[in-house]
Amino acid sequence: MDLEFSAQEQAFRDDVRAFLSDELPAEIAEAVRTGSELSKSDHERWHAALQSRGWLAQTWPAEHGGPGWNAVQRHIFEEEAALANAPRIVPFGLNMLGPVLIEFGTPEQQAEYLPRILDGTDWWCQGYSEPDAGSDLASLRTRAERDGDHYVVNGQKTWTTLGQHANRIFCLVRTRAEGKPQAGISFLLMDLDDPGIEMRPIRLIEGDHEVNEVFFTDVHVPAENLVGQEHDGWTIAKFLLTHERTNIAGVGYAVRGLANLRALAATTVRGGQRVIDDPVFAARVAELEVDLEAMAITNLRMLSAVQDGATPGAQSSMLKIKGTQIRQAINDLARRVLGAGASPFPFDVLGDDLALAPPEARANAAHYFNNRKLSIYGGSNEIQRNILAPQIMGG
């Protein structure tokens, strides 16, 4: 494959940069840069700016309201958006449920839900993980029993990201106990205002409220909210995870993180010299740069294959693992540069004078702690290695 972008792709990159310069609100970019928690209105404002250009539903075909981008265009946008400190597009309705409805939904479901995702009427969250069913998703126990024209749902979901902002949730539920665990799972759409649903916040180690746990007690869900066929939810789940993992390497975020690391090390002096001039530190940064370049090339190869109609295979698992390791290593090195300044909390060093860590320290502390999840979400790295083993080594 040609690893150089075409003239058309370079022109698209220039268009993306101009859009980000003109339309990304400075205060939102600064909040992203400093690791501050974004409000629902911040996300909605950014989504509205993208939708006004027709760039919000980036994985959707044009006939359903998407821009009709190919995989390389999505990669270019993701990289430029990360470098500009744009918020990550909230993926649950746009990048997860939308493609599922386009592939498996009825015409009525598509007409009902797709426009509401685009205009922001509906904010979706994901009900996959459970306290005893995370990486082993097939062991989920939330059950849905058919009762006339409804399903009655009981159980619990956890790690529900940004669920506090959502009005709807798509869930994997167990509709049959017999046979293989994967063969008894169905995919349901639910309204979070329905009686019997309770959401409780989970506070993360850096103090942010990003995730939640959700409890279902005799929740009645209309049968027409079933997506696809009953007991066929595992097929839909695998399709959704393929979309989730296509750009899971996070190349753009790693490029931005490495640039920030180099800038931080160039302005931090320790022992009479800049940290960037320390040969041991410089060697670590160089190793990361080599790893990142290799990952970027592998990512482009996979995107090229996807663009030609292939389904991501072993490469997506490799990219998930390597992308996780690189981004976490960047966070770790930045904390080493900052030293005591990397504390995520204010600390008292001069009696009554409260010294605060600089904004870049706050950002790195938030990213460091939050990015520990990268090893787990989208399929834990251990599971990815189990997927890779038979594909690469046989057996």
Kindly report, residue by residue over 97-150, the tens digit of the pLDDT.
999 999 999 999 999 999 999 999 999 999 999 998 877 888 999 999 999 999
Give pTM, 2 decimals: 0.87
321 and 352 share one domain = yes
Q: Which residues of 83-116 are buried (b: 16+ CB within 10 A; e: fewer)?
A: ebbbbebbbbbbbbbbbbbbebbeeebeebbbee
40 and 15 share one domain = yes
Q: Which are the catalytic amino acids? A: 244
pLDDT band for position 344 (cuts 50, 70, 90) = low
Candidates 118, 125, 87; CA nearest to 102 is: 118
193 and 329 share one domain = no
pLDDT band for position 152 (cuts 50, 70, 90) = very high
Rounded to whole angstroms, the Cα distance separating 159 from 181 reads 22
Structural domain that includes position 56 = 7-89
| Strand-pair partners of 152 | 145, 220
pLDDT band for position 370 (cuts 50, 70, 90) = confident
* Per-residue pLDDT, 217: 98
Domain count, the chain: 3
226 and 328 share one domain = no
Judge whether 119 lies within some domain.
no
- Regarding predicted confidence, which is higher, 358 or 127? 127
358 and 250 share one domain = yes
C-alpha distances (whole Å) from 38 to each of 31, 46, 349, 357, 366 are 7, 11, 29, 20, 13
pLDDT band for position 395 (cuts 50, 70, 90) = low
Lowest mean pLDDT among 36-40, 80-84, 198-202, 210-214: 36-40
